[in-house]
């Protein structure tokens, strides 16, 4: 194995430390405590784990955590009424509605009812448009975490060929926008892309966000490339449950210059960036300077 392993767990811990430092300063100098509201509708076990972790890490960073757990059969009107209350609550600087929502709720309508300046997921159509036009916005947490790791490892990304495999609204599209913002030459590839292996082999930066276990083998990776694996796939192997990424780690690590592992790569960065976005939203709400290194 020749690749450097990019330790997302350690990197996320440094991001959380920076966040906690800024939170302490906000309290001390301005008597302000940033607050994050998380809304969970229904009882999806994976979502419950995520929400618990978010709440725990929010409190550990010194911020207020407001959890709203609603029954699966909650009506759209009731959910919109809660979001309206949170939009107007000055103690709440960030609002996150955990996805997926139960089928009877219109996710686009719900997300777009969040006040854009409190949309710490960066999913509101206004934030999508601001990011796409290079204006100050809230940036989706997972792509923001990937960008931080890339900048940390590579320094200047300008002129590099970046290939993002996956075109989701949550990861692929905003990732491409962020890389473009850092002056990469960006290709978005997906399941219909012709000659996908060839396209991947051109990448100095390869971001895999397709949700298909170990889809990208080492011989699709350009020697020396930086590989960011966003996939978190649960598989059964040798009778055991295992977490694997979208990249075949062992073969890719033989070829890549650097690679994120699964678990312990991109995953821990997502919540760290959610905390960072909450502090950013709080600073903007109060007209205070934003923390360095925690935004795009």
In the set 18, 54, 118, 173, the catalytic residue is 54
**Does 98 help bind ligand GUN (rule: CB under 6 A)?**
yes
Q: How far apart are CA 80 and CA 143, in angstroms?
A: 27
> Is 121 a residue of the active site?
yes
> Is 98 a residue of the active site?
yes
Q: Which residues contact 129 (CB under 8 A, 6 or more apart)?
A: none
**Does 119 help bind ligand GUN (rule: CB under 6 A)?**
no
- CB neighbours of residue 163 within 10 Å: 27
Binder to ligand GUN among 121, 182, 204, 248 (CB under 6 A)?
Answer: 121
| Span 132-151, contacts to ligand GUN by CB under 6 A | 141
Give the side-chain half-sphere CA count within 13 A for 294.
30
Minimum CB separation of residue 86 from ligand GUN in Å reads 14
Binder to ligand GUN among 63, 79, 95, 96 (CB under 6 A)?
Answer: 96
Minimum CB separation of residue 7 from ligand GUN in Å reads 21
Q: How far apart are CA 67 and CA 97, in angstroms?
A: 10
User: At which residue do the structure tokens 């930066």 appear?
Assistant: 205
Say how many residues touch ligand GUN, by CB under 6 A. Answer: 7
Minimum CB separation of residue 253 from ligand GUN in Å reads 26
**Does 20 help bind ligand GUN (rule: CB under 6 A)?**
no
**Does 70 help bind ligand GUN (rule: CB under 6 A)?**
no
> Is 57 a residue of the active site?
no
The encoded tokens of residue 97 equal 């509605």
Nearer to ligand GUN, 141 or 205 (CB): 141
Minimum CB separation of residue 171 from ligand GUN in Å reads 9
Nearer to ligand GUN, 113 or 270 (CB): 270
Q: Which residues contact 92 (CB under 8 A, 6 or more apart)?
A: 35, 36, 37, 66, 86, 118
Stretch that binds ligand GUN, among 91-99, 154-162, 188-196, 245-253 (CB under 6 A): 91-99
**Does 196 help bind ligand GUN (rule: CB under 6 A)?**
no
Q: How far apart are CA 118 and CA 81, in angstroms?
A: 16
| Span 260-279, contacts to ligand GUN by CB under 6 A | 270
Q: How far apart are CA 56 and CA 254, in angstroms?
A: 37
In the set 57, 98, 118, 177, the catalytic residue is 98
The encoded tokens of residue 90 equal 């000055």
Nearer to ligand GUN, 116 or 218 (CB): 116
Minimum CB separation of residue 5 from ligand GUN in Å reads 24
| Torsion from C-alpha of 74, 78, 82, 83, nearest 10 degrees | 90
Listed in order, strand segments (DSSP E) in 153-282 are 161-165, 185-189, 205-208, 226-229, 233-237, 240-244, 258-259
Q: How far apart are CA 34 and CA 57, in angstroms?
A: 13
**Does 252 help bind ligand GUN (rule: CB under 6 A)?**
no
Active site residue ranges: 54, 98, 121
Applying CB under 6 A, the residues found at the interface with ligand GUN are: 96-99, 121, 141, 270
């Amino acid at each position: 194995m020749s690749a450097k392993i990019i330790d997302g767990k350690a990197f996320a811990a440094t991001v959380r430390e920076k966040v906690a430092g800024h939170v302490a300063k906000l309290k001390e100098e301005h008597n302000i405590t940033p607050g994050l509201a998380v809304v969970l509708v229904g009882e999806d076990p994976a979502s419950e784990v995520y929400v618990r972790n978010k709440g725990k890490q929010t409190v550990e960073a010194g911020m207020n955590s407001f959890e709203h757990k609603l029954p699966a059969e909650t009506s759209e009107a009731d959910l919109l009424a809660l979001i309206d209350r949170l939009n107007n609550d000055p103690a709440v600087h960030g609002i996150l509605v955990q996805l997926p929502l139960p089928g009877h709720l219109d996710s686009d309508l719900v997300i777009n009812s969040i006040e854009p300046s409190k949309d710490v997921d960066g999913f509101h159509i206004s934030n999508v448009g601001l990011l796409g036009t290079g204006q100050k916005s809230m940036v989706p947490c997972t792509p923001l975490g990937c960008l931080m790791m890339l900048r940390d490892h590579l320094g200047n990304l300008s002129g590099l060929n970046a290939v993002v495999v996956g075109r989701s609204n949550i990861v692929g599209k905003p990732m491409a926008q962020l890389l473009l913002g850092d002056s990469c030459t960006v290709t978005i590839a997906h399941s219909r892309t012709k000659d996908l292996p060839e396209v991947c082999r051109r990448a100095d930066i390869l971001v895999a966000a397709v949700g298909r276990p170990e889809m990208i083998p080492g011989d699709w990776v350009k020697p020396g490339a930086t590989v960011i694996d966003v996939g978190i796939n649960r598989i059964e192997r040798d009778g055991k449950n295992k977490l694997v990424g979208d990249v075949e780690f062992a073969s890719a690590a033989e070829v890549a210059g650097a690679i994120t592992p699964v678990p312990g790569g991109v995953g821990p960065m997502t919540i760290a960036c959610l905390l960072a976005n909450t502090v950013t939203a709080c600073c903007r709400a109060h007209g205070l300077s934003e923390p360095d290194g925690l935004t795009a």
